[in-house]
Amino acid sequence: MREKIRTYARLHLLKASHRLMSLTSGGGRRRIAMDPLDTRIICDLETEGVHVTSLDKLLPELKGLPEVMDRARALAAGTHGRAAEAQWRSGASSTDLTAASMIELVPELYLLGLQPRLLQLVENYLRLPAAYHGGVVRHSFVDGGQAGPRIWHRDFEDFHVFRAVLYLNDVTEGGGPFEYIPRPLSPTHKQVRDVGPLTSETMQGIVPASSWKRCYGPAGTLVLCDTAMTYHHESLQTQRDRMVVMFGYSSRQPSRPTTSQRHFPVERVRDSLMRIVPAANRPHVFDWRSAKAAAILEAEARQD
């Protein structure tokens, strides 16, 4: 009981600290000079929880990304080969490219998450300096299993978590589109507290499926979501595999540092990152990370 009270008090104070920093660090000023698209994205995130756009619209100045995406798709297509075994890590419902392989083989995708326009959008939304959790290249297969990110959930790294999901292949019906429940229809904590895993069948008993929304789109589609405020999941792949890159961001004082750092093992690939991350972006990548959380994650890795 005492531990619960301490945790509640810590989170309450941290949330108040975030609000104070957003007022004193110039957070309000960041929203003055926004592109009309940015204004629309932030409005949608605050009301709906999700905005769907594309790389071409958000980052039209970038060159060479189609070739990089082709390379990533080729890597994902070779997931089952023996030569690729060391490059991929199997999860509950998908296979992720390891951090070391991402930096070695498709570093452009990691650096995509540090594009100035994207970081500015994140900080405009958060009203705080952003922490970059990293990027994950994910290949999800047609296997029918409701597990891992296919279970309905919200993310709890921080009070607000800005997530960007880039489709590497065309995602149509049966291809596992990102699916969400609009924020105004979001279940309450009381509704989901004691129901167990939020499978689609369980969620349908709380929020009717007619209220769920799916994000379809061709390769290059970019789904932006505040995943801490929006119930979402990766719908089942029933006809074809899905290949995506996911980027995550929060404030630099996340409410759950260990969870925030779990997405990308920066400490294990620090030397490689130092060679490619611009000096101006090192605060986004390195400075916010907790040594205590890193030690916890390293101990967990040794036990695996």
Per-residue pLDDT reduced to its tens digit, 188-206: 989 998 888 999 999 999 9
What is the SS3 assignment for 183?
Answer: helix
Predicted pLDDT at 26: 47
CATH of 35-303, one of 1.10.8.60, 2.60.120.620, 3.40.1480.10, 2.40.30.10: 2.60.120.620
pLDDT for the residue 30: 47
- Count of all residues that appear for the chain in the document: 304
DSSP string for residues in 235-258: --BSSS-EEEEEEEEEESS-S-HH
Average pLDDT value for residue range 109-114? 97
92 band by pLDDT with thresholds 50, 70 and 90: confident
The token pair that represents 282 in the structure block: 């090192």
CA angle 64/68/72 to nearest 5° reads 170
Q: Which amino acid, residue 188? A: T
211: tokens are 């209220």
Q: What is Dmax (Cα atoms) for the chain?
A: 55
Q: What pLDDT is stored for residue 16 in this prediction?
A: 53
Q: Please state the domain extents for the chain.
A: 35-303
Closest CA to 256 of 283, 280, 290, 229: 290
Residue 109 pLDDT: 96
Higher pLDDT, 152 or 34: 152
Q: For residue 16, what is the enclosing H or E element?
A: helix 2-24
Task: Give me the pLDDT at residue 134, please.
Answer: 97
pLDDT at residue 272 in the model? 97
Q: Compute the average pLDDT of residues 40-50.
A: 97
> What is the three-class DSSP state of 263?
coil
Query: 50 or 299: whose pLDDT is higher?
Result: 50
Q: Let me know: does 254 contact 260? Beta carbons within 8 Å.
A: yes
What's the mean pLDDT when you consider all of the chain? 88
Residue 164 pLDDT greater than 50, yes or no: yes
As a whole number of angstroms, the distance between CA 229 and CA 184 comes to: 10
Structure tokens at 135: 């990027």
Residue pair 103/13 in contact (Cβ under 8 Å)? The answer is no
Q: What tens digit of pLDDT does each residue of 240-250 get?
A: 999 999 999 99
Residue 32 has pLDDT above 70, yes or no: no
Whether residue 264 has pLDDT greater than 70: yes
- Predicted pLDDT of residue 27: 45
Residue with more model confidence, 121 or 76: 121
Asked whether residue 96 carries a pLDDT value surpassing 80, the answer given is: yes
pLDDT category at 15 given cuts 50, 70, 90 is: low
pLDDT at 180: 98
Q: Which residue has the higher pLDDT, 147 or 287?
A: 287
Find all residues with CB under 8 Å of 119, minimum gap 6, and list them. Answer: 130, 132, 281, 284
pLDDT tens for each residue of 204-225: 999 999 999 999 999 999 999 9
